[in-house]
Amino acid sequence: MKTDMSAVNIHEAKTHLSRLVEQAAKGESFVIAKAGKPMVKVVALDTPDTGQRRRLGFLVGQFQIPEDFDRMGQDEIAALFGDAS
């Protein structure tokens, strides 16, 4: 079996399809080739399209929002713009 997993021939793909699909589902996409010619690329369904950035949630767990977030700086804002409440 190839260690590179970037390309496999069609016979190898048929022989090891279950394992290859599991790896693709984990983000390790691969190409199936026939007679040395790349035919298809196998990727996980949730893989972003080329050129598309997957940004939502990329900082999960990196910081915490303070409990008083909605009130932060309210005294300074009121002093600058007048109390609108």
In total, how many domains does the chain have?
1
What confidence score (pLDDT) does residue 12 get? 93
Running DSSP on this structure, what letter comes out for residue 79?
H
**Res 52: pLDDT:** 61
Q: Is residue 18 part of a domain?
A: yes
pTM more than 0.85: no
The domain in which residue 29 lies consists of 1-44
pLDDT tens-digit map of 2-60: 444 489 999 999 999 999 999 999 889 999 999 999 999 998 887 666 666 667 787 88
Is 31 inside a domain boundary? yes
Task: Give the pLDDT score at 63.
Answer: 86
In order of 45, 77, 80, the CA distances from 83 in angstroms are 51, 8, 9
